[in-house]
Each structure stands twice: as structure tokens, then as C-alpha cells.
Structure 1
């Protein structure tokens, strides 16, 4: 049985002071304190219990000097005591041992623990008007159950160093600073607790602190509900990597440093959640509302993972990310927002899966320049502006997403890139608007009931539309503005109140297997000087002539059917459309040339006829057009040096011409791989020849455009898992109809790095080359000794690159010719002694790996002009001769390298 000692102001057998009783107490002693006020400073070191004999509110201990209670060891227990400090310091100071406070009230000073002290607070009230309510440092720890921390002069609960705290059913309110703050490597676990009503943040974490909050309410904070700004190592090798790997597997950690589960965040002066630095957090089943700024905001290198989070009724953006932050949201709702539902800026990235974004005064999803977003099975509805806005340099990849009732555009790609697969856009202003130098992809998408155009390509924009359906657009089903280049493969345009497909001046679409039905105006409207290729298309039920060709239109229609319309064709006298194997049926006025052998209809759902290498490109003109090949071959011949390359290109051109002639004669083309390897040192004209090769094939009708798209490792290989394939695909799409030139291709497969992302880029290229074998030429280039290793890195490369063109280094004579050409182009003349000196100069240049061939020649010429300028500047009145004549003294004296 425990020994009992009594403390009272009077009475036989009692101690007059608590200190005296404690001094006499042994292990397990209970000190019963009678009601009263005791001016003492207790020092406890042992297993003793000090309790108010008559219960809470009857015993008051006020500090005589320093803390009212100091624990230097042991395991003391304090019950139902009112403990009052002197102010300006701790009221209860724990230096060591294990201390428990039950039903105690602490005022005018903090409860402070340091070193290895262990503290348990049960049903206690802490009112430290001058400092922190509870302060833990070093490796101290505390357990708080059913406690109240109220009106702290600084922070309610403050953890530093490696301290640990667990809060259960605790209320921390009224702090001038934060309700809870943790720094260093401290950790806080809280459950069923109320944290807020404070002058700064409800919860703040810094350093490497960890937080786990379950079933908590964070509310009425003048700052943020949660503010984390971790420093030091982040959650992974790159912030965006963790958007694809939110569990931190890349860093070998099973869980993020901050976790909130089933928490409510309400009424904050600033953001609800702000992550900065290298912070990483996961919120699950949480609700956020009535925040003063963004509900959820990640910046720096932070990683934010959201599962089933609701952020609604907000005065600003629901979810924002900036700098290099990465966000992954699954099953979340962002709704009723005065601003954007989701806003990304800088180089941030987001992955949204199964999320709902609705009712915003701005865009539902806004991707500012340089950002990336992936959407899967998301619903975006009722935005006052755009459903999704993609700005220059931003990239969107959306699968099975639904965008409804966006006032301006369902998806507006303004300078960025986008890939939409299986998406639905309903009742938006414009379903999809594309205005970009990239070639966005719409695959299997549906656009319904647009109040403007269904799909709108702005000027100079290219895009790929595969198996898309556009229904019920209030104006045009698909509108292609000036000089746009759309490839439309399959799909349908139905019920447009305007024309089904509008092709404006200079646009050159390539359309295969498209069904256009029930247009209020023309099925296909070709504006002045429009062009294009239409194959295996069907136009029916048009209110105006099914096909309209304005002045100077040059379009080709092959195997097309016009049905059930008043008139099949209306063409301006200056229009020159070409029809092959086309037919009309159920048409009152037939003007289109008929081919009775043409099929009456192509069954819906069948794939369109494949495009063959010799088929006409968009905008084919009548056969009387001037042949561009002699001009291009002459341009090739004028190149300096490269005799073997010129012969190879000329030979390839003859083979390609034969292929075209055989196809036009109805014969099978011979097996042929058009992709090439250019092996040679830098500056040997590889890019120039690649550009000419594309133009030659376009002149033969083997490529639609023949343009050149240059790429290297940086353009094709991503920075994190899942980034490479989309990045490579985007570059490849820009090259469709032309040449993709990959310089230093061997850099895609570094030595002895089998897990490098470059291997994924190569595999993606191989598949895309197979899928688009007739639509693009791929040329890979690099040092001769490295290209064999590159071709051996993937089994599919060797079979697709069967021909190598070797680019020899330029001779000194070649380099002199290049300089002479530069001089003529810039209105300079070389003295004959200058030419001789120039040849001697190139003979003496060391041909190291840094030697740039033609690039070196151009740099030498630039240096010569600089030296010439320095010499002529000293002349009083230089005439035309002096201003243009380059003398031997203008030759550089030192080597010039690239």
C-alpha cells in the first residue's frame, strides 16, 4: 500500500509545505495537498504523486523563484493542481525523467521539456500568456489527451530539434503565433484535435519535421491552416518524378513527411495548405473551404499528393502549383471557386485521376507556360471561361476526360501542346481550339453541342484528328483557319448548323474516311485559295451544296461519296478541284464529275484506305504544274564537296521516282526503306542535306510537306518516369509529313546505362516509325564510330535504317570555297593572295575532334570580317574598295574551332 503524506496550513501530522512533504517522500508516496495557495518552487526527482486532496481548483502552486515545478528525474505525477509561473519563463520545466500531469491547469508560463524528458498530459489546461503553451526540445516527447492549450503568447505547441508530440482529443487555440509548430527533425501526431483560432498558421512545419494528423480540424487561422517549408533532401531525385511516383519510392521512403487524413480545413486568412522547399505531403479524405487564398498550393520542389480531397466554396484557386512542384490528385473535387479550379505555373506538373472540377469564375484547369498536366477519367464542368487552357510551352495529356459547359472553349491550346484520347467535350463555347506550332493529337474524342465551332484550328496550326466525332455544333463542325495543316483520319461531323468542315485560305488538310452528315450549310466549304486531299469521305444531307469550292481552290477528292443533298458541288469558275473515283447518289443537281465504278458507299466503321507513298499530298495541283525536282537537284549539286553524298541522294531520288511511276501504273512498289543514317563529323552539311532530301521527296509526292524538324537527346528524353514517351511523340508529330532529323542520335543510348530514359525514346521512335511508315522520314546522324553502337541498341533500328550516307570531312579547298561563298553572300571580295593564304591556313589547322568543318569555315570568315573592320576603321576616308576587299593581313593568326 502506498505511503500517504498530507500537506495543510494547520493540523496535527501534516506538512506545512509541499516541498517539505516531497523531501520526505519515498518511492510510490502520495502527497495529498489540502486546499490553499502555496508559494513554492517544487523540484521533483522520484516516483511521487502530488494531488489536490479536494479535487480540481482547490490547490494553487505559485512560483517562488523560477519554474513552479521542476523535474530533474524520476517519474512524478501531478493531479488536479493549478500551477502558476512568474511570467517570462516556464511554469513547469522538465529536464529529465517521466512526468504525468492529470487535470492540471498551468498559467503564466509554458510547460517546457528538454533532453530526454517524457511528458504525459491528461485533461490539462495550459494558458501561457507570455510564451509558448507547450515547448519541447532536444529529444523530449509529450502525450496530450483531452487537453486545452489556450491563449499562448507565442505558439500553442512548439517542437524543436528531435522532439516528439502526440495529441489526442486536444484543442490548441488562441495562440498569437501558430497553434502547432515543428522544426528540426521533430514529429507531431494528432488525432481528433482542434487546431486554430490563432494569429499565424494553424500548423507549421520546417526543417525535416514530420506531421501525421487524423480526424483533426484546422480552422480560423490568420495565416495558413498548414504551412510546410522543408529544407534539405527532397522526396526524390526530381520533383516531377514524384508526380508519377507519389509514394516516394524513388527516394526509398514508404510515406511522405506530412500526412493529413480525414481532416477539415476551414476559414484561413491565407492558403489552406502551403507546401514549399522540399516538402512532401499526402492529404486523404480531407475537406478544405473558405480559405483566404488558394486552398492548396505547392511551390519550390514540393510534392503534394491528394486522395479524395474536397476543396469547395473558395474565394481563389482551389489547387495551385508553381516553380518545380509536383501534384498528384486522385478522386478529388474542386468546386465553387472564385478563380481557377486548378492553376499550374512555372515548371510545375500535375497528374489528376478521377477528379471533378466545377463551377469556376475563370478556367477549370489553367496550364501556364512550361507546365505539364495529365488527366485520366476527370470531369470538368461549368467554367466561366475555358475548361482547359494550355499556354505556350505547356503540355496536356488527357484520357477519358469530360469537359462540359465551359463558356469559351472546352480545351484551348494557345501555344502549348496537347494529346486528347477518348475525351468528351459537351455544350462548350468552342469544343476544342488549337493555336500552336505543335501538332496536338485528338484521338477518339467526341465534341457535342458546341455553341460555336466544334473544333477550330487557328492560323498556321497543325493537328491530328483520329476517329473523332463532332455533333451539333452551332456554327462549323470543324474550322481550319489560314495556312493550317490538319490531318483528319476517320470519324464523323454531324448536325452542324453551319458547314460541316470549313477550310480557309491556304489551309491544306489531309482528310481520310471522314463522314459529314446533316450540315445546315455546306458539308465541305473550301474558301478562296484553299487546298487539301480528301479520300474515302462521305458527305450527306447538306442544306447547301454538299461541296463548295471558292476561287482558286485546288483540292483533290478521291473515292468520295455525296448523298441525299440538293446539290453535290458548287465551284467558282477559277476553282480547280480534282475528282477521282467519286460519285453522287440521291442528289437533285449533279455537278461533280462521276465515276460509275466508284463504290456507292464505304461501310461506316471500316478503316479508310491507307495512304501510299506515291499518293497525292494535300493541295495537289493538276499534273501540268511545274516539276520542282530539277531545281532542287541543282541546289544539291551546288553544295560544296560531298560528292559521294550527292551521288547517293541523286540515286535515291531516281529510285523514288520509279516507285511513284510503278504505283501510278498500278504495280506494286518494291521494298524500300526511306529512313537514313548520316554518318559524319560536325559541320559536314548533314542538316542541310536532310532539309533538301525532305523537299525532294515532297516534290515527288512521297511526303505531304517535306519540312525538317530537328531534335536531339534534350528534345526527346524526359526528366522523370513517364515523361519520355509523350515528349518523343510530340516531336515526332511535328515532323509528320516531313523529315525528323535526330542529331547526335548515339547520345540516346549512353555507354553501359541500360536503364537510361534514352532507350525508351528509341523504342518510342521505332513504334511511331512503324505506325506512320508512309508519313515521315527519320534521319539519324552522328559520329561514324558511334552510329553502329546506336543501331545495335534496339532490334528494330537495324531493319529500319538500312542505308548509311557517309559525310567526309571537307578538304582545305572545300573550306576555301565555303569562305568564298560567305564572302559573296555578304558583299566582300577576297584578294588572290588572301585566297592562297586562306588555303595555307586551313592546311595548318589541326583536325582534332573539335574541328567543325563547314562551321569552322564560317567562323574563320566571321573573324576575317572583324579583323578587316579593325583595319579599315583606322582609315580616314575608306572608299568602296577598302570597305569590301579582304587582304591577307585580315586572316586570323590562331586556330578557330567550333
Structure 2
């Protein structure tokens, strides 16, 4: 069989046997023929409709220039497969039109230079560029909108008034050694259902994004570099799930991106004009061993319903935050370093879900980690520090989970939890900084096995009106105090140690009422336990050691006027003085012991009095095994305190009526007359923040003042405190809570949750049955108040005949009006030494008037949160003043409203 050899056709301006134009040579050629072109300049409108190869006669020195003959047509149009053009300069006449157009078949450009128009391929075609240079085009340099393959190797696209490279339709593209620079649009744009693999590519100085990925396109970029962009380094706008990544021999491999998404491995994104990597819509991006540095925006931002995953990455010195998640985005980072941000290291907002594991967050301008709105944030085995603000802050309604994290050297709190944020923290270590952990939130806060060392101020603070759970924590070497319980706070503190504090170890603010068990306080600069005015609380099996300093000796336990703490089974040791009680204090000591105390005052007998060591009442310390002393609160004081609450006029009237009824009952009993049937148990209904817990606490104290309750203390519980997780667990759990409330009020919030869950694995009904029996057995010992939304509570009470018979009186807590909310803010301001201008008061009222009063409206809680936000904004405002006066520091203006 004879082999078919290709015919060579020669093109030259003169000479025997040569075609005078390339077009003529093409017409004479057959498939597979080669056309050799002599050096020179040719004006042509080439249509390559057969598989020919165009090459310069004297080698690939680009001495052959082909210029478009018609401004409205390309220099070369390809309609056949297998066309190859090498070493030729192709010059179009209109930069906005294709200089090279592939409408059918396929084209290989090898070592060519294309200017004055783009290279474009569309339809069922293929396009290959090797060692080419494309420049001087408009709209795009290379545009492949094909269903076939596209390959760009060692090619330069530059000086384009538009996008450098556009890959669309369903093309399968591979780019190796591609350089895109100095284009006014994006560097590389991939859209539609295109699939692209970029290896060792360089995108420099695009006017917009370096890499733009849209729709259902998928891109894998390996060892690429994007720098000096006008906008984002990489922007992803998509709607498909994130591709899964695989690793082979420790290196990322090209993965199946059939469903869309972006993978960046071993890439650098430097000096971007906006975010380093921005993913939005439903886009997805995975970054492996990437470095993002010196961006004008965030390092990586994820918005809408997008997903961003980082592993083994570095984000350095962004002008914005290192990582940002908003909308319902999902963002996770592992083994990643976030450093040098001028804003937050990590910012989670809206309803995003963020996970950070085994990572470092350091040297940030704002709080290193900030979670707000309704975000969900998990931190595991991270190292956080070197920030002028908080190490980690959770605010609004954010939910925070922390496990095995170390925080150090923060200008404010190591961990700050405020507003209504929730937090579950285990194994946190906070070293140095102003404050260790500050739990100011009204949400659920659980701190377990945390260490706080070397804080300038308090180690752990439970803020005003909060009810955190602090378990197994260790505090040492702090400045002002070890563990502080704020005003009216009711935390549960168990199995903790406080040592080597410059101030007092455990401090209770006014009207605080903690539950403290198995806590050791030793070597404090002042008191081991300081109980503030009107504070209560129980302390069981605790150890309070004396001052560990050589300075003035402080009593191990100091009890302020009007307070009534109960200490059971406690040990006070190694002190000059064990207990000092101010006048009007009513401490109760049950089975407590002093050891190695120079001047003991702790009662040792059943009726032995506490000596008057601080001007106190000699009867203040009688042993609780006999009778507990009544509170010094008079009924008139308590009713005045009730009347002083903002709003709640109907509730005040109802409580006052109940008081009159109960006083009458008490008088009948004192005269030996039979008491009428009376149910003291109540249902409180209303939205959150309407004062239900506050009134419940007052109600218990009023009953104690009337003489119908022994102590009148309040024990708060919810479903989790009553319902167990397995058979036989619920009854004892409910009984323990009830026993704790004996002599006072058991307040069950969201009580309807006990009946909302149906099924064999729910034990809510068992909790109700246990509760009803205990209420019957101890009808005179405990008052039970159940609380929740009106409709749900009505269903709850009707769900069980026993509930309906015991809870036959309901108090409705109506939403606060705007004027009442303003008065709450004004009260908060007065308590914290701030003043509102008249204009600020008017702006506040207008603000509250505009708030929708829907189910779940925050009421008083919203007012307190707004006050806190105003103080923060005022602080930022005053910080800009060159010389702030005392008036500046105290005054809140309309501009401080968020």
C-alpha cells in the first residue's frame, strides 16, 4: 500500500511556482497539505475550510504578518477540523471583533501572535494555543464558548480592554503556564457549564477579578498566582455543591468537578483590590495550602448560601477581616493561620455556620473572632491572641461552641459573651489580657474546665441578670477579682478553684443569687468570698482560705448589709479572721468549720451567735439546723420595689391583690381559724423580656415577708433541668430541682416544652407527674410558677387535669410600650453613670415606635441590648476626640443609636 504524502504549497510575493496569496494556496490545497509562507506582510481574509497547516517558510520568527482585509471580518476563519497555524502574526482591524474565529472543526495556534482582535471559538469546535501572545483586543483576549476541548499552554494574554480569557458553554479547558496581565476586566472568566484546570498560571493586574467563576462552572487551579487585582482575587458565583477534593502522596490532585465548584491548591492571591477570595450565591470553593496576603478587603468571604473550606492555608494582612461569613453561608478552616487583619480575624454574621479547627488567629485590629446575629460558630483546638479588643466575642443571638482553645494577650476580654448569645465552652485557656471570660449574655452559657491565668481584672465575670453554668474552672493570678457574680445574676458554679488573686476571690454583686458547690478559694489579696448588698445564694462544700499576702488581713468571708447567703458544709481556714458580717446581714451557716483561724467568729453550736465583728446583728449567724432567719426586707419595701418596675401595671395590680388575700389568710391562721383553699402557684404568660423572672423573684420574697414561705429564694429551671435522657433519670432529676426550691419559688421557663415532644423516648410527662406529686406532698413549702408564651401555656395547662387544678391563676405580662422601654434605657444609663440628652430620648422613642412588636419581641431585653450598643458606639465616637471631657464620656446622643 502506497503512503500518501502531504503536498507543500509555497506562498511568496514573487518567484516561480509560488502562490501570490495565502487564500490562493488554501484553494489549491487538500486536507493534510502544508502551506509555507515567505516573510512579508499579507492582507487577507482567510477561510480555512480544509485541514491545512500554515507555517512561515523561514522558521517561526513571526516575520510573516497577515492583516485582515475587511474591518468587519476576521483575519482567519476556521471551518474545518485539524487546522494548524504556527509562527505567524495575525492582525485584525477591529479590536472588538474576532481576529481569529473558529466556527467549525478545530484550530491549533502554535507560537503565533494575535492582535487587533480576539481569538474566538464557538459551537462544536476545539481550540489550542501554544506559546502564543494575544494582545490589543477589546471585550476579551481569548473567548472559548465551545462544547469541545480548549487548551492554553505557555500563552500570554495582555493589554486587553476587557476580560483576558473567557471560557463558557460546556468547554473542557486546560491552561498550563498561562499568563494574563494588564486587562481592564477579569483575568480569567469561567461560566456556564465549563470545566477548567489551571496549572502554574499567572494573573497580574486585572482591572476587576483575577479569576471569576460563574453559574455551574468548575475550576481546579494548581500552583497559580493572582496578584494586584482591581477587585477580588478569586470571585465565585455559582449554584452547585462543592466538589470533593482528594490528596495523593500529600499533594492535592485534580478532582471530579462534574457538579461545579472551585478548588484552589498551592495558590497565591496577593494584593487584591477587594476580597482575596469571595464566594456568593450558592457557589463553593475549596482552598488547600493557599496563601492570601495584603488584600484591600477580606481574605476569604462567603455570603448567601455559599460554602468555603480552607485547609493548610495562610491569610496575612488583609485590610478587612481574614475570614467573613454572612447570609446562610458555611465556612470552615482547618490548620489555617489568620494573621495581621486590620479588622477581625474571623467574622461570622447573619445565619452563617462557621467552623475553625487547629488554627491560629493573631494580631488583629478588632476582636480576633466575632460572631453576631444568628451565626453558629465552632472553635476547636485554636490559638487566638494579640488583639486590642476581645479574643472571641459572641453577641446578639449567636451560638458559640469552644473546645480546647487557647486565648492570650487581649486588650479586653479573652472571651466575651453578651446580648442573648449562647455559648458552650470546654477546655478554654485564657492567659493575660484585661479580663479572662465575661459572660454578660441572657442566653445559655456553659463554661466547663476552663483556665484563666494572669488577667489584669477579673478572671470570670457573670454579668447582670445572667445565669451561666461554670463548672470545673480554674482561675489564678488575676488582678481585681477571681470570679465575679454580677447584680441579680443567678449562675451555677461547681468544682472550681480560685487562687492567687490580687483582689477578692469570689465576689457577689448586689442582689446576686448564685448556686455554688465544691469551690476552693485560696491565697487571695483580699476576701476569699465577698457577698454584696442584698445578695443571697447557696454555698455547699466550699473551702475559703484566708489572704495569701503579707499586707492587711481581710476576713476570709465578708457579708454585706442586707445579704442572706447560706453556707452548708463549708471550710474556712488559714485566716486572721474567718467571717465578718455588716449590720443587717443575715448569713446562715449549716455544718461549717473554721481551721487555723486566729480570730474565729463562725458559729460552732446550734444556737451560737455570730460575733458582731463588723457592726452586725448578733443574731445574724445562728445555725440553719434550727431555723433560718427571715430576710430583713419588709413587705412595704418589696411592694415599693415591685411598683418601681417599668410598665406591668396589670401584673402589679394582680400581685397586690394576691398579697392582700394572702395577708388575710395569714391573719386567719394566726387567730386559729381555718385557712380558705388557696393556690399560690401561678402561670406567667408573655413575650421574652417582659419581667417574668424579675416578678417571680419578687413574688417569692413577698411570700417570705408575709410568712407563707420560709426563705422566698428563686430557683430557675427549664426542660433540660427536669427531663432526663434515659429511663429512670427524669424522676430523681426533677426531685433534686424541687428540693433545691424548698422554702422558695420554683420558676419553670418555657414549661410548655415538657408536653411538646411526643414519642416513646420523651420523658416530659414523667417530669410533670413527678412535679405534681411533689407539689401535693410539699404544698406549703414551694410555690411553682410556670412561664411561657400565652397560647402555648394555655395548651400546656389544659394538657393534664392535675396541672389545670393547681394552676388556676394566670398573670399576663404585656409588651412594654415605647415610653416604658425608654425608661428602661434611662434606668440602665443611670445605673452605669451615663446621661441621655433630650434629643436622644426622643430618638429612642422613635426607634422603639418603629420596631415591629411580633411574637418573640425582646421587650426589656431589647432595651438593655440597645443601651449596650449605644455605649459601644459612644465609646468609638469619644475615642476620636482629642481631649474628651467627663461630660463627653457620660453623654449619649442620637448619633449613638445603632
| Same fold by TM-score greater than 0.5 | yes
Shift in alpha-carbon separation, 1:765–1:507, aligned structure 2, 3 A:
farther
Which residue pairs with 2:409 in the alignment? 405
Deviations 1:228-274 (A, max 9, x none): 233xx5649xxxxxxxxxxxxxxx99976122111100011111112
Shift in alpha-carbon separation, 1:406–1:623, aligned structure 2, 3 A:
closer
**Which residue of 131, 140, 145 maps to 1:132?**
140
Which residue pairs with 1:849 in the alignment? none
**Which residue of 299, 310, 314 maps to 1:306?**
310
For residues 559 and 754 of structure 2, the distance between their equivalents in structure 1, rounded to whole angstroms, comes to 45
Deviations 1:767-805 (A, max 9, x none): 9999xx9999999999999999x99xxxxxxxxxx9964
**Which residue of 99, 106, 109 maps to 1:98?**
106
Matched position secondary structure for 1:375: strand
For residues 327 and 573 of structure 2, the distance between their equivalents in structure 1, rounded to whole angstroms, comes to 55
Given that 2:631 and 2:711 are in contact with CA atoms closer than 8 Å, whether structure 1 keeps it comes out as no
Deviations 1:545-586 (A, max 9, x none): 111112122111111111212211122132221111111111
Given that 1:703 and 1:737 are in contact with CA atoms closer than 8 Å, whether structure 2 keeps it comes out as no
For residues 299 and 768 of structure 2, the distance between their equivalents in structure 1, rounded to whole angstroms, comes to 41
Matched position secondary structure for 2:138: coil
Which residue pairs with 1:444 in the alignment? 449
* 2:205 is equivalent to residue 197 of structure 1: yes
Given that 2:68 and 2:93 are in contact with CA atoms closer than 8 Å, whether structure 1 keeps it comes out as yes
Given that 1:533 and 1:616 are in contact with CA atoms closer than 8 Å, whether structure 2 keeps it comes out as no
Given that 1:133 and 1:149 are in contact with CA atoms closer than 8 Å, whether structure 2 keeps it comes out as yes
Given that 2:115 and 2:136 are in contact with CA atoms closer than 8 Å, whether structure 1 keeps it comes out as yes
Unmatched tracts of structure 2, length 5 or more: 243-255, 549-553, 607-622, 639-653, 663-675, 721-744, 775-781, 813-898
For residues 200 and 445 of structure 1, the distance between their equivalents in structure 2, rounded to whole angstroms, comes to 47
Matches within 5 A, 1:583-732: 583-594=593-604, 622=630, 705-706=714-715
Which residue pairs with 1:84 in the alignment? 91
1:315 deviates by 2.2
Matches within 5 A, 1:15-34: 15-34=19-38
Shift in alpha-carbon separation, 1:354–1:156, aligned structure 2, 3 A:
same
**Which residue of 443, 455, 459 maps to 2:460?**
455
1:807 deviates by 7.6
Given that 1:481 and 1:504 are in contact with CA atoms closer than 8 Å, whether structure 2 keeps it comes out as yes
Which residue pairs with 1:273 in the alignment? 277
1:453 deviates by 0.7
Shift in alpha-carbon separation, 1:784–1:205, aligned structure 2, 3 A:
closer
Matched position secondary structure for 1:19: helix
Deviations 1:91-132 (A, max 9, x none): 100001121111111111100011111011111111133331
Given that 2:81 and 2:105 are in contact with CA atoms closer than 8 Å, whether structure 1 keeps it comes out as yes
Which region of structure 1 is more displaced relative to structure 2, 584-593 or 16-25?
16-25
Which residue pairs with 1:558 in the alignment? 568
Shift in alpha-carbon separation, 1:423–1:62, aligned structure 2, 3 A:
same
Which residue pairs with 1:434 in the alignment? 439
**Which residue of 509, 513, 516 maps to 1:508?**
513
Which residue pairs with 2:551 in the alignment? none
**Which residue of 494, 499, 513 maps to 1:494?**
499
For residues 768 and 160 of structure 1, the distance between their equivalents in structure 2, rounded to whole angstroms, comes to 64
* 2:579 is equivalent to residue 574 of structure 1: no
1:709 deviates by 6.4
Deviations 1:847-894 (A, max 9, x none): xxxxxxxxxxxxxxxxxxxxxxxxxxxxxxxxxxxxxxxxxxxxxxxx
For residues 235 and 638 of structure 1, the distance between their equivalents in structure 2, rounded to whole angstroms, comes to 66
TM-score by length of 2: 0.69
Given that 2:240 and 2:259 are in contact with CA atoms closer than 8 Å, whether structure 1 keeps it comes out as no
For residues 269 and 327 of structure 1, the distance between their equivalents in structure 2, rounded to whole angstroms, comes to 22
For residues 709 and 39 of structure 2, the distance between their equivalents in structure 1, rounded to whole angstroms, comes to 107
Matched position secondary structure for 1:229: strand
For residues 524 and 366 of structure 1, the distance between their equivalents in structure 2, rounded to whole angstroms, comes to 33
Which residue pairs with 2:230 in the alignment? 222
1:688 deviates by 11
Shift in alpha-carbon separation, 1:18–1:623, aligned structure 2, 3 A:
closer
For residues 764 and 366 of structure 2, the distance between their equivalents in structure 1, rounded to whole angstroms, comes to 37
For residues 172 and 262 of structure 2, the distance between their equivalents in structure 1, rounded to whole angstroms, comes to 14
For residues 508 and 565 of structure 1, the distance between their equivalents in structure 2, rounded to whole angstroms, comes to 25
Given that 2:696 and 2:714 are in contact with CA atoms closer than 8 Å, whether structure 1 keeps it comes out as no
For residues 137 and 442 of structure 2, the distance between their equivalents in structure 1, rounded to whole angstroms, comes to 62
Matches within 5 A, 1:228-307: 228-230=236-238, 233=239, 235=241, 257-307=261-311
1:354 deviates by 1.2
Matched position secondary structure for 2:340: strand
Given that 1:742 and 1:780 are in contact with CA atoms closer than 8 Å, whether structure 2 keeps it comes out as yes
For residues 481 and 159 of structure 1, the distance between their equivalents in structure 2, rounded to whole angstroms, comes to 61
Shift in alpha-carbon separation, 1:417–1:808, aligned structure 2, 3 A:
closer
Given that 1:695 and 1:707 are in contact with CA atoms closer than 8 Å, whether structure 2 keeps it comes out as no
* 2:542 is equivalent to residue 521 of structure 1: no
Unmatched tracts of structure 1, length 5 or more: 237-251, 597-614, 640-649, 657-675, 712-735, 792-801, 819-898
Aligned residues: 693
Kindly indicate whether structure 1 or structure 2 has the higher relative contact order, using CA contacts under 8 Å at least 6 residues apart.
1
Matched position secondary structure for 2:386: strand
Matched position secondary structure for 2:147: coil
TM-score by length of 1: 0.69
Deviations 1:786-845 (A, max 9, x none): 999x99xxxxxxxxxx996458999xxx99xx9xxxxxxxxxxxxxxxxxxxxxxxxxxx
Which residue pairs with 2:556 in the alignment? 546
Shift in alpha-carbon separation, 1:561–1:196, aligned structure 2, 3 A:
same
1:210 deviates by 2.2
Shift in alpha-carbon separation, 1:431–1:765, aligned structure 2, 3 A:
farther
For residues 125 and 358 of structure 2, the distance between their equivalents in structure 1, rounded to whole angstroms, comes to 47
Matched position secondary structure for 2:481: coil
RMSD between aligned residues: 4.4
* 2:366 is equivalent to residue 358 of structure 1: no
Matched position secondary structure for 2:140: coil
Given that 2:195 and 2:257 are in contact with CA atoms closer than 8 Å, whether structure 1 keeps it comes out as no
For residues 495 and 808 of structure 1, the distance between their equivalents in structure 2, rounded to whole angstroms, comes to 51
Shift in alpha-carbon separation, 1:302–1:784, aligned structure 2, 3 A:
closer
For residues 92 and 768 of structure 1, the distance between their equivalents in structure 2, rounded to whole angstroms, comes to 81
1:429 deviates by 0.8
Shift in alpha-carbon separation, 1:63–1:621, aligned structure 2, 3 A:
farther
